[in-house]
Structure 1
Amino acid sequence: MKKKGFQRSDRVAEQVRRDLADLIRSELKDPRVGMISLTAVELTPDYAHAKIFFATLNSEHLEEVQVGLRRASGFLRRELGKRLHIHTLPELHFIYDNSIEHGANMSLLIDQANAISDQTPEE
């Protein structure tokens, strides 16, 4: 019988996300990166590549953040290797996650629709 729950790759991906978030917060000194949030990590089955999804509070400087993360990827990968003990250390690919921004826009639209419906007299 197959056991339900997380697969090993899901647990490793979550550990990669936690460790990278800690490394970016405490070790990365690049001012271009600033305050970012790692939203998800997707690993290939062989752990050769990791897509790191991130969100930033200030999307105006998104290109600078992406350049900073791309330049720091070697350092982050090396430091990640000191923390993780897996057979293959993934190459890091940082991808902007606009779901938080999209959710905020949807919330604003819902609030506007509710405000309009509150102003309209009911029949």
Structure 2
Amino acid sequence: MESKRQQKFAGVIQQDLAAIFQREGMNFLPNTLITITKVRTTPDLAIARVFLSFFNTANAEQALQTIKLHASEIRYKLGRQIKDQVRVIPQLEFFVDDTSDYVNRMDKIFDKIHKDENEQ
């Protein structure tokens, strides 16, 4: 369970990273929309785990690797924005948010169950 402090800090990071990806995301991944679905921070606020969703890309894992290559540059830009609000700029760890894939998979299962019930 995250503390209020962690949640507030994660919200600040999410907003500022979203602004960075909106302004400069095309430099990292042309023709790809990058959204930040959630941010989780460690209790000491030293690490921020950022969950990303990619739209208009064929391979999300390859897109994630590209973002990871630019992680230090992204952290630097984040640091310039939040330096007056925090003591330490957190290390950024990026992950693919597979929630939409999970939802699609569950929808297919429920559709199949519903179809099987109607056939009986």
TM-score (norm: length of structure 1):
0.81
Q: 4+ residue stretches of structure 1 with deviation over 6 A?
A: none
Say how many residue pairs are matched.
Answer: 115
Describe the superposition over 1:62-95 as per-residue Cα deviations: whole angstroms up to 9, x where unpaired. 2321121112211211111122120010010101
* SS at structure 2 position matched to 1:56: strand
Describe the superposition over 1:18-70 as per-residue Cα deviations: whole angstroms up to 9, x where unpaired. 21122112123112682232121111122211111122236741232112111
Output aligned runs, 1:1-123, within 5 Å.
7-28=4-25, 29-31=27-29, 34-57=32-55, 60-84=58-82, 85-120=85-120
Asked if the contact 1:33/1:65 (under 8 Å) is kept, the reply is no
Q: Runs of 5+ in structure 1 lacking a partner?
A: 1-5
TM-score (norm: length of structure 2):
0.83
Q: Runs of 5+ in structure 2 lacking a partner?
A: none
- Structure 2 distance, partners of 1:49, 1:74, is 13
* SS at structure 1 position matched to 2:65: helix
Against the structure 1 CA distance between its residues 58 and 119, is the aligned structure 2 distance closer, same or farther, given a 3 Å change threshold?
A: farther
Asked if the contact 2:61/2:96 (under 8 Å) is kept, the reply is no
Taking only aligned residues, the RMSD between alpha carbons, in angstroms, comes to: 2.0
Identity %: 23
Against the structure 1 CA distance between its residues 104 and 59, is the aligned structure 2 distance closer, same or farther, given a 3 Å change threshold?
A: farther
Asked if the contact 2:64/2:94 (under 8 Å) is kept, the reply is yes
Asked if the contact 2:32/2:56 (under 8 Å) is kept, the reply is no
- Structure 2 distance, partners of 1:111, 1:18, is 36
